[in-house]
Copies of this chain bind each other. A is one copy, B any other.
């Protein structure tokens, strides 16, 4: 995947379950943490947006589990962002084991920006991406 951002992390023992592998729900934590770091990297500050009544809300996730991470594995969470129509943005994400580039998880996370609970056009996203020099494709 041709990605815009990568966060490198390491599996912590307490994230693993009885089968000795990272529990399925933990990958969502990894994916979320990487999205937040990405958005901070382009100067989108959620605490500040929240004070202006703006919230980014996840409406759908699709996750394909290809292979399992184990204790102490080093992995990268990679992100590419695109827009869908006027309101939705889609994060394509991959989790890759760094040692051998093995694909662990492939995810598509769809979100909207809400103002006081209602979806609005994500102009603050567009501006932040532009300022960061990132081109974002829009699907029809």
Contacts and interface: CB of A to CB of B under 8 A. Distances in A.
B17 A25 contact: no
Contacts of A20: 18
Main SS of chain A's interface residues? mixed
Q: How large is the interface on A (under 10, 10 to 19, 20 to 34, 35 or more residues)?
A: 20 to 34
Contacts of A65: 57-61
A2 interface: no
Interface in A1-44: 12-14, 16-20, 23-26, 28-29, 32-33, 36, 40
A40 B65 CA distance: 24
A17 B17 contact: yes
Nearest to A46: B13
B61 A24 contact: yes
Contacts of A63: 60-61
Interface of A: 12-14, 16-20, 23-26, 28-29, 32-33, 36, 40, 46-47, 55, 57-65, 71-72
